Amino acid sequence: MPLSRQNRDPLGWCLLIVAAFEALVLWRLTIPSRYYFDEVHYVPAALKLLELIPANREHPLFAKEVIAGFIHLLGDKPLAWRLGPALFGGLGLFAFARLVWHVTQLRRAAVLATALLATNFMWFVQSRIAMLDMIAAGMCMVGLWQFAAAWRAKRTGIARLHLILSGLALGLSLGAKWSGAPALAMPGLAFLAMRIADTGPVFIGKRGAGPIKGVSLIEAALWLGLLPIAVYWATFIPAMFYPHHTLSPWGFVQQHELMVRLQDSVKKPHPYKTYWYQWIVDWRGIWYLFQNVDGAHRGVVMIGNPMAMIAGLLAFFWSVWAALFRGRRDVLFFAVLYFVCVGMWAVNGKPVQFYYHYLLPGAFLMALLALGLDALWDRRDRWRLVARWVFGLSLALFVVFYPIISGWPLPFKDAYNLWMWLPSWR
């Protein structure tokens, strides 16, 4: 691809992919017509929130506020339960596309990354269920996108606006669920690292220095540090009006001690409990649904796209090499995001962990895979064909697995065996 064309903004192509993804997410969104998997926790919690009754107190409130808001507008029915995550899934995919473009300035890599995330199974499945994760992940992507847009902005005023929007989105993401916390800290740390790289050890007090000219380190700390914390705490306002277990506006520390205690109290063995090293090799998924419902036998399994996830893991090792020996800062950015998001779960003391905690790391892995494929795409040897085959097979597997990740009617109960390639997937 000629350089001039490669450097053109792929906004149109990315919008087309996002529109197709969102249409597929919304199609048959109301099936199953009853709660499935963790909807049994979060939808009732959202309903209680409408009545200011404390529930599901181990998690922040924003995602439940979103679900409750749609229930208030549309009524207590499946479309209202799931519409919030569905819309945030599309928003998050678009934000991811813009993030990859702003960080890399590589047209093809941005298009490949958008298509890979849309078809990596996880983003699709999680966009169709009333859980907290997609709302948190979607706002995390918006926050990262806005930070990258601020970095690329040519005018200080526009950059400042992007930083404010980034801080707002980061706070809302944390207010939905804590699972993206390492990624949410990255904009502030990246700003600090780039400023030190620009100014050297004396990085405080120099005017006109840093990644965004005209934005000081203190101002960046305001928009990327204090603002997200303030927004996060503001999402708890409904709890300050509970008739009992009322949250004090000054009870920040006590509230979080309670939340940590409640999360650590879940120690009962679970059949779908897994560990981070099983997630990265796509070893064990979760059956969100497998039974006769709405007139047919249906299944929804939460696993990763086998081709994209395994190829992505190889791309991560390539990214370490490319960052160290080729100076690829764009690759380094996504490699660090992937590493810290997986690393959090490797050292986390949470007794019970699940594969859907890999949602954000799996998304950053798709960016690394896209960058790896982009590096091979124009070669004139067999690696060029490998890149095209990996991408093509990833898309094809989404089509093949679509019935078992979308709750499509199965012709007979044991038909699920067609997709269970590993015994551990059962």
pLDDT tens track for 9-56: 999 999 999 999 999 999 999 999 999 999 999 999 999 999 999 999
Is the pLDDT score of 75 beyond 80? yes
Q: Do residues 243 and 217 share a domain?
A: no
pLDDT of residue 300: 95
Lowest-confidence region among 161-165, 210-214, 336-340: 210-214
Total structural domains in the chain?
2
Q: Do residues 35 and 146 share a domain?
A: no
When comparing pLDDT for 35 and 201, which is higher?
A: 35
Q: Mean pLDDT over residues 273-285, rounded?
A: 91
Q: How distant is the alpha carbon of residue 37 from its chain centre?
A: 19
Q: Do residues 316 and 256 share a domain?
A: yes
When comparing pLDDT for 381 and 70, which is higher?
A: 70
Residue 273 token pair: 């409990």
Q: Do residues 182 and 109 share a domain?
A: no
- The residue among 209, 234, 259 that closes a domain is 234
Model confidence pLDDT, tens digit, residues 178-200: 999 999 999 999 988 888 877 76
The share of the chain scoring above pLDDT 90, in percent, equals 77
Q: Do residues 170 and 218 share a domain?
A: yes
- The residue among 208, 234, 260 that closes a domain is 234
Q: Do residues 174 and 274 share a domain?
A: no
Q: Do residues 353 and 372 share a domain?
A: yes
Going by C-alpha positions, the residue among 66, 22, 15 that lies closest to residue 45 is 66
Cβ neighbors of 140 (< 8 A, separation 6 or more) are 92, 169, 170, 173, 180, 183, 184, 360
Q: Mean pLDDT over residues 215-227, rounded?
A: 92
Structural domain harbouring 72 = 3-131+235-425
Lowest-confidence region among 265-269, 334-338, 378-382: 265-269
Is the pLDDT score of 1 beyond 60? no
Number of helices and strands (H, E) in the chain? 18, 2
- The residue among 177, 209, 234 that closes a domain is 234
Model confidence pLDDT, tens digit, residues 132-180: 999 999 999 999 999 999 999 989 899 999 999 999 999 999 999 999 9
Q: Do residues 241 and 230 share a domain?
A: no
pLDDT of residue 424: 85
pLDDT of residue 314: 97
Q: Do residues 269 and 376 share a domain?
A: yes
pLDDT range class, residue 6, cuts 50, 70, 90: low
When comparing pLDDT for 225 and 211, which is higher?
A: 225
Give CA–CA dist 281/304, Å, rounded. Answer: 9
When comparing pLDDT for 269 and 95, which is higher?
A: 95
pLDDT of residue 207: 59
Give CA–CA dist 161/173, Å, rounded. Answer: 18
Q: Do residues 8 and 120 share a domain?
A: yes
**If you average pLDDT over every residue of the chain, what do you get?**
92
pLDDT range class, residue 416, cuts 50, 70, 90: confident
Locate all alpha helices (DSSP H) within 267-381, ordered by sequence: 276-279, 306-325, 329-347, 359-377
Is the pLDDT score of 71 beyond 80? yes
Q: Do residues 265 and 382 share a domain?
A: yes
Across 79-93, 240-254, 408-422, which has the greatest mean pLDDT? 79-93
pLDDT range class, residue 2, cuts 50, 70, 90: very low
Q: Mean pLDDT over residues 283-297, rounded?
A: 91
CB 188 within 8 A of CB 221: yes
pLDDT of residue 115: 98
CB 194 within 8 A of CB 257: no
pLDDT of residue 146: 97
Q: Do residues 240 and 225 share a domain?
A: no
pLDDT range class, residue 363, cuts 50, 70, 90: very high
pLDDT of residue 201: 61
